[in-house]
Amino acid sequence: MITRRLLRQALPFLSLLIVLLATFYVQPRAMSYFGLNLMLQYAIPIALATIAQMFVITVNDLDLSIGPFVGLVGCIGATLLYEQPVLGILVLLLLIAVYGAVGALIHLRNLPSIVVTLGLSFVWLGIAVLILPSPGGKAPDWLKAIMGLQLPVVPFPIVAAVVIGLVVHVALMTSSYGVIARGAGGNPKALTRAGWSMLRTKVMMYMMAGVFGVLSGLSLLGLTTSADAHVADRYTLYSIAGVILGGGEFIGGRVSPMGAVVGALTLALAGAFLIFLKISPDWQIGAQGAILIIVLALRALVTYGEKTA
C-alpha cells in the first residue's frame, strides 16, 4: 500500500524524467547549461499560471480565463507599466481585486465557475485588444533583467521553478490558513460549521490566483520583450494540464504545488522535444494531451491497485 502511494506521488517526477531523457536522446546537445536554459525559459510563466489555476482548483472551481488574463497583464506591462509605472501597478492591483470579486460572485450566487470564467476570458481578451490592437509595446528594463538572469551552475528557470514550488508548498500545505483553504475544497460544510467563512476563503484563493496570473504575465513579457493580446491563449489548457499532471484533482482540495510546477516543466519540455523531432507546433498541444492521458491512466491504475490491495 505504501509503495503504491509513493509511486502515485512520484508519477509527476517520473513523467518529467522520461520526457527529459527522451529529449536528451533526440538532441544530446540539449544536455548542457545553455540547452536547459533555452528549453525551460518559458516554463516560468507556465508554472506561475499553473499555480494560479491550482489556487482556483483547490476550492473546487475551474478558471477558464487565466490564459487571456496573462495576455492582458502582458499588454498592460508593455504599455502602462512601461510608460507610467505607478498607474500600471495600480491597474494590476485592480485586476487582482477583480479576481477576488469574481470569486465572491461565484460563491454568493452559486454560479458555475466554468461559465463565469469563460465569459470573463472574453472580457480580458477584449480589454487587451483595446490596449494593444496589434503586437507591440516594450517590456520594462528591470523586467527583462530579471528574466534574463544568468546564474552559475544551474539555469535560472530551474531555480525559479523550485523556489516557486517551495514557497507555495510552505504557504498552502504547511500553514494553518493553507489547511483551511484546502478544507474549503475538501469539506466546505465542516469548514463552515467550524466557524470559518467560505466567502472569505474563496475570495482569498481567487485573489492569489490573480497575483500569480499577474506574475505569469509579467514574466512572459520579460521573455518576449513585447506584448500580444493572444500570446498566452494556450495557457488556460497548459495550467489545467499542469495541475492534473502534478497530482491535483478537480474535487476535494487535493493539490500539490511542487507537483504542479513539475507538471508545468514537463509541458515545457514536451514542446521542446517535439521541436527537436521537427514536428509542427500545431501538434504540440495534441502531444501534451497524450502525455496527460498516459499519466492519468497510470495514476488510475495505481489508485485501483491501492483499493484492491
Structure confidence by residue, pLDDT tens digits, 265-286:
988 888 788 777 777 766 766 7
Across 37-51, 157-171, 223-237, 250-264, least confident range: 250-264
pLDDT confidence of residue 91: 96
- Residue 191: predicted pLDDT: 76
- Mean pLDDT, residues 154-178: 90
pLDDT value, residue 279: 72
Output the pTM of the full model. Answer: 0.93
The half-sphere exposure of 250 on its side-chain side, counting CA atoms within 13 A, is 7
In angstroms, the CA 202 to CA 63 distance is 13
The better pLDDT of the pair 276, 91 is held by 91
pLDDT of residue 100: 95
The three grid cell numbers given for residue 61, joined into one nine-digit string: 472551481
Beta bridge partners of 227: 136
Per-residue burial over 204-242, b = 16 or more CB atoms within 10 Å of its CB, e = otherwise:
bbbbbbbbbbbbbbbbbbbbbeebbbebbebbbbbbbbb
Domains of the chain (ranges plus CATH)?
2-308 (1.10.3470)
Q: Which range, 68-77, 148-157, 190-199, 278-287, is most confident?
A: 68-77
CB 291 within 8 A of CB 245: yes
Q: How many CB atoms within 10 Å of residue 98?
A: 17
Instruction: Answer yes or no: are the C-beta atoms of 236 and 70 closer than 8 Å.
Output: no
State pLDDT tens for residues 96-120: 999 999 999 999 999 999 999 999 9
Cα separations (Å) of 307 from 41, 144, 203, 294, 300? 40, 50, 36, 20, 11
**CA 199 to CA 54: how far, in whole Å?**
18
Mean pLDDT computed over every residue of the chain: 87
